[in-house]
Amino acid sequence: MSDSLTRPGLTPAQILANFAEAHPPLTQAQALVEANRCYFCYDAPCTQACPTGIDIPGFIRGIATGNLAGAASKILEENIFGGSCARVCPTEILCERACVRTAESGEPIAIGALQRVATDWQMERGNPFARAAETGKRIAVVGAGPAGLACAHALARLGHAVQVFDAKAKPGGLNEYGIAAYKLADDFAAREIGFITAIGGIAIEYRKCLGENLHLDDLRETFDAVFLGIGLRGTNHLGIAGEFLPGVRDAIDFIAELRQTQDKTALKIGRRVVVIGGGNTAIDAATQARLLGAEDVTMLYRRGPEHMSATAEEQAWAQRHGVAIRFWAAPLQITEAHGALSVVTERAIFPADLILKAVGQTFLGGGPAVEGGRIKIDASYRTSLPGVFAGGDCVPGLDLTVQAVQDGKLAARAIHEFLGG
């Protein structure tokens, strides 16, 4: 990508507006109307569809009756990242798809939006939980993402002292570095971490990377238990010629740079961007390229729309923002001629100033036994190493924030039991 490239047609004010929050919060009146649409089902299918098992009719009833403290408690008791999950969780394939009103009229209760009402209210008032008496036990948590910090918070509530280590300069994991800026706008990810760690008993040390300047054997000797919430860290390659040419980069690095850049007018994007992949990372990268001012953004996916891991709603979101999605377009090679890049497929050639690869991540390994490319765990989140537990994206299961939170929460209970609790 040429250093002389700019973003044609967009002013700094327009770029700033483009990265405002995608879905503004409900007003009080809107929340009351929406909450009163709920049937408050017994044995509710929406609760069963939530990976963290939130009592959804219960918290919605709290909103409907003006009991926001009770509503927030029901959410945060099960999901301490309820605020970010209200914003980024794919409710359209989880709780809202299971909503009785979806089958009845195709218009589910806006569960995610209502969850945000309650959690935002509580975040303004501080962490509602208190620590139990100190146990004298110390647990190391590696990874300050949703899995690690959900585990840390649950352990701190039980009275344990938790030392968190993270490879990055900031906590939050993908919430801080990997999710589109318009989904978790402003400094919400950082504020939520502050809300979570305010319970006390949690210390975080940064720039500590497992296998480099942090070693599992040392942690096992120093702490009473270890939890690994280290994510995947590696990225998959296309395996084609030209994928390491200048101007070709991993989409997840592009998103991380964008999220950490306060002045987005400083980012150079080019006029034509090609994104290779069909998941949510590809959608986020492509949409944000358009929001930065790229005129022509094309996603290339090797199969049909029904095979994409990005939801239909996410696909429609990208298309509404001017992203063209080309199906059955597997890249064969990337070429460069006279400083111009192109992606070659079987049927067409796509010129580009910037090419973003979003073809999945991979676990880098090291430490406990691995099975199927992830850390092998049992039903209690125990790894092959005694005293070492794991959860989140580094173990088998859904690669969703809400699932990572559930893993961390349940692993904390297992660690507590392991320590004699």
Taking all residues of the chain, what is their mean pLDDT, rounded to a whole number? 94
User: Which H or E run includes 14?
Assistant: helix 12-18
Q: Give start-end residues of each CATH 3.50.50.60 domain in the chain.
A: 138-232+362-418, 237-359
- β strands within 153-271, DSSP E: 161-165, 202-205, 225-228, 233-235, 248-250
Instruction: Kindly report the backbone phi and psi dihedral angles of residue 332, in degrees, each rounded to the nearest multiple of 5, phi listed first.
Output: -100, -35
Which pTM value belongs to this model? 0.94
Give the pLDDT band (50/70/90) at residue 366.
confident
Domain with CATH 1.10.1060.10 in the chain: 28-123
Write down the pLDDT at residue 1.
44
Two tokens at 259?
A: 């999220």
CATH no., domain 28-123: 1.10.1060.10
Q: What is the pLDDT of residue 268?
A: 85
pLDDT in tens, 17-64: 899 888 999 999 999 999 999 999 999 999 999 999 999 999 999 999
Assess whether pLDDT exceeds 70 at residue 7.
Answer: no
Average confidence (pLDDT) over 324-336: 97
Judge contact between 88 and 184, C-beta under 8 A: yes
6-11, long-range: CB < 8 A, 24+ apart? 6/268, 7/265, 7/268, 7/269, 7/292, 7/293, 7/294, 8/271, 8/293, 8/295, 9/293, 9/295, 10/292, 10/293
pLDDT, tens only, 226-282? 999 999 988 999 999 999 999 999 999 999 999 999 888 888 888 999 999 999 999
Pick the CATH number of 138-232+362-418 from 3.40.630.10, 3.40.50.740, 3.50.50.60, 3.30.9.10: 3.50.50.60
Give me the CATH topology for the region 237-359: FAD/NAD(P)-binding domain (3.50.50)
CA distance linking residue 380 with residue 70, whole number of Å: 30
